[in-house]
A and B are shown apart, each in its own frame.
Chain A
Amino acid sequence: MSDNGQTSERILGDPIVITEDVKKWFGDFQALKGVTATVREREVVVIIGPSGSGKSTYIRCINRLEAHQEGTIIVDGTELTNDIKNVEKIRSEVGMVFQQFNLFPHLTVLDNITLAPQWVRKRPKAEAEEMGMALLEQMGIPEQASKYPGQLSGGQQQRVAIARSLAMEPRIMLFDEPTSALDPEMIKEVLDVMKDLAASGMTMIVVTHEMGFAKEVADRVMFFDYGTIVEEGTPEHFFTNPQHDRTKLFLSQIL
């Protein structure tokens, strides 16, 4: 399906996500201890790291599902503050895919996809449905449109979730371990879709334990531990020649 030859042809654009010294506490526990990173347009960044290292917290700060307490986050030129207008703008520009899919169980697959375009983007219903069907086509599951999420397999659900995010025509996509809740044969379905998406030039920040995906698709890999970026670099550099002891230890455990 995917042609990884395209990966290298992607031309990176201007910085689109900028985080500077971002700190975040839960009660008296500090989950992020000053994260500084920049993601450029059309770039695919993969974040790896041990459990509890703050990967999810970091990407959830980027669309303000969590409010950071210190530092700055700038997404597409807009700084994330408690200005409701900025938050609205960023939420509709950044799509997110969750580990647990989080589809709306009381709506059909198509309604799941068309809900936000209709009410947030104010698209007419017919137009939204047309686009929804096109996306389902792209995901390879047009025949599931009128089913309910509970009737779908995990891989199908996750592809619906991706379609649902794409329906908002986001400029940036966040993935939080999109394949961790899936059986092995379904993982491939979802990864293929993600590869296509990367090939089409979407800016993506992906938290994943799929090292194959990282090697094949990523422009850059970041390694998180204890709330900071310990090491980052291109996949070749990162996997073949890690600098840090912690990175080496982590890679030796999972590879």
Chain B
Amino acid sequence: MTVQVREHQKTPLWRNATVLKWAAQLFVLGAILAVFALLVSQALTNFASSDISFGWQWLSSPTGVQLREGIDVVPDSGARALLVGIVNTLRVAISGIFAATILGTLIGISRLSKNWIVNKIATVYIETIRNIPLLVQIFFWSALAVTLPALTADDVGEYFFKVSNKGFAFAGIFPGLGWLPWLMFVIVGFFVGRYVAKRRKKYQEDTGKPGHGGRYWFGIVLLSGIIGWFAWPLLGFMSHVFGAIESFVDGLPPVVFPIIIALAAIVGSMWWIRNFFESRRTPAGFGKMTDDDWFRVIFAGVSGVTVAVLAFVVGGFSLETVAGDTQSVAELIRTVIGNFFGWLSAAFAGDVSTIVAETQMRVREGGPLVFSKPAVVLLGAGIPQYARTGLVITVPFFAIWTGVTLYTAAFIAEIVRGGILAVPKGQTEAAQAMGFRRGQYLRLIILPQAFRIILPPMGNQYLNLAKNTSLGLAVAYADIVAVGFTIMNQTGQSLPVVVVWMAFFVTMSLTISAIVNYYNRKMMLVER
């Protein structure tokens, strides 16, 4: 057989697919970076001419910010103010997620109910709520709440429950002096209980006799709670342990912290690259990697080194502290870690100052938990106000919480409904054939299966809810956005505040998706 091979030609560069691909990518990357650099440099020059220089000093210096509500209404530094905002955001987000899940599930099931009127109520709810902008709803709840009766001088006194245009006040149970040591007892009880429950389950499997694992578990937690209620002062010695750790940390040279971070970054990226090579190894060696693979490896290496270098660079930045002297970031990290152990040490010693500021006016005697009732008192100029002794739901909190909860519930209801409908009909039929009643098979057969379908979109709704809490700005709820906005107005530090916002929200998004993904994976494992 004659083989005619035309002269082997070298591919010219401008026709080489790989070269073209990378040239196009680098060109776009360059163009985007150029635009970005242009904007940033312009912003920096404009700011330089207006006497504002960006920095992070405001984090550790007084900003003069006053907040309507939160764990600390007159924070002494920018960082503290941000912390208050973060806690406020989380408060709405977490309680809203729970409430919206319960309400949404109920409405979603009602939407499938055979009962005509229940079904119609659910439909009307969904179609009304989700077609009206959330912000309109939030304003409406706010407008509604301020038409409640005002507090007058006659209202002064203690209550279990009080409604006024200043908000809703409830009696409640709050952490007392011994709550942290007591919590330790409960947590230990929880794990011991879990261990015992597992043993009981094994016993049940081995012998066939009922093991009552759940009862044992509950009993042990209860018992340790009761023991802890009285025995918590015994843990006072922990105070010394944490105190020792604190002084050890304070004694470390500051450079230790950047070194730890840099080492972690480098080791992490090396480990990743090694694993990657392992997974791509072929009998012919490492040569069979695509350009994509090489890019990943290079990217992993570059990011590891970048983080390591950044750790040292950032660690060297100096900041101004409350006291007025300067401190490097590395020293700041040391202080934060040290303070954390110091706080733990104080908490185990039963120190009053460890109890968050909001409870400062509550009765503090007694054990781990204290019961406290709201009261109406006359402030300075004789204006009636809620004392901070009870659980006070302010009007902004009420508006934003009700708004996001009802709004998200409408979307969750549709997801739940879709998830239940997606469970194959055969499952229902099988369950009915086995003699389950409607309520039973819904709970035991359909919902667990629907849960798998529901989980990912539900995670999206949780993210939306968390992000929607930022609308609190519109009704003056002191969430992270509102606090940042106030700081911006007071100090002019717009760029750093935006960076903080992004860091916070991206972290929150990643956390929520990590939790949802964790459960998702767990579900998948169970399925196999």
Question: A-side interface residues toward B, CB under 8 Å?
Answer: 14-15, 18, 25, 27-28, 30, 38, 69, 72, 74, 77-79, 81-87
Given the interface contacts A81-B11, A83-B17, A84-B17, does A74 sit within 8 Å of B5 by beta carbon? yes
Tell me the nearest residue of chain B to A64, going by C-beta.
B17
Given the interface contacts A25-B284, A28-B282, A84-B20, does A18 sit within 8 Å of B3 by beta carbon? yes
24 example contacts (A-B, Cβ-Cβ < 8 A) are as follows: A14-B2, A14-B4, A15-B1, A15-B3, A25-B282, A25-B284, A27-B279, A27-B288, A28-B280, A28-B281, A30-B283, A30-B284, A38-B3, A69-B288, A74-B5, A77-B6, A79-B5, A79-B6, A83-B11, A83-B16, A83-B17, A84-B16, A84-B17, A87-B17
Q: How far is the CB of B224 from chain A (nearest CB, A)?
A: 52
A contact residues around B9 at 8 Å (CB) = 79
A-B contact count (CB 8 A): 53
* B18 contacts partner chain A, Cβ-Cβ < 8 Å: yes
B contact residues around A84 at 8 Å (CB) = 15-17, 20
* B8 contacts partner chain A, Cβ-Cβ < 8 Å: yes
B contact residues around A25 at 8 Å (CB) = 282, 284, 288
B contact residues around A69 at 8 Å (CB) = 288
4 other A-B residue contacts (CB within 8 Å) besides A27-B279, A78-B6, A85-B15: A77-B6, A82-B17, A84-B15, A84-B20
A contact residues around B17 at 8 Å (CB) = 82-84, 87
B contact residues around A87 at 8 Å (CB) = 17
Which residues of B1-43 are within 8 A (CB) of A? 1-6, 8-9, 11-12, 15-18, 20
Separation of A86 and B288 alpha carbons in the complex (Å): 23
Tell me the nearest residue of chain B to A27, going by C-beta.
B280
A contact residues around B20 at 8 Å (CB) = 84
Which residues of B78-136 are within 8 A (CB) of A? none
Q: How far is the CB of B81 from chain A (nearest CB, A)?
A: 52
Tell me the nearest residue of chain B to A69, going by C-beta.
B288
Separation of A25 and B20 alpha carbons in the complex (Å): 24
Q: How far is the CB of A26 from chain B (nearest CB, A)?
A: 9
Separation of A80 and B281 alpha carbons in the complex (Å): 26
A contact residues around B280 at 8 Å (CB) = 27-28
The 4 closest A-B pairs by CB, nearest first: A83-B11, A82-B17, A28-B282, A83-B15
Separation of A77 and B5 alpha carbons in the complex (Å): 6
Which residues of B308-360 are within 8 A (CB) of A? none
Separation of A27 and B17 alpha carbons in the complex (Å): 21
Q: How far is the CB of B296 from chain A (nearest CB, A)?
A: 14
Separation of A38 and B15 alpha carbons in the complex (Å): 27
Tell me the nearest residue of chain B to A77, going by C-beta.
B6
Separation of A82 and B4 alpha carbons in the complex (Å): 21
B contact residues around A82 at 8 Å (CB) = 11, 16-18
Separation of A83 and B1 alpha carbons in the complex (Å): 28
Q: How far is the CB of B520 from chain A (nearest CB, A)?
A: 26
Q: How far is the CB of B21 from chain A (nearest CB, A)?
A: 9
Separation of A27 and B287 alpha carbons in the complex (Å): 11
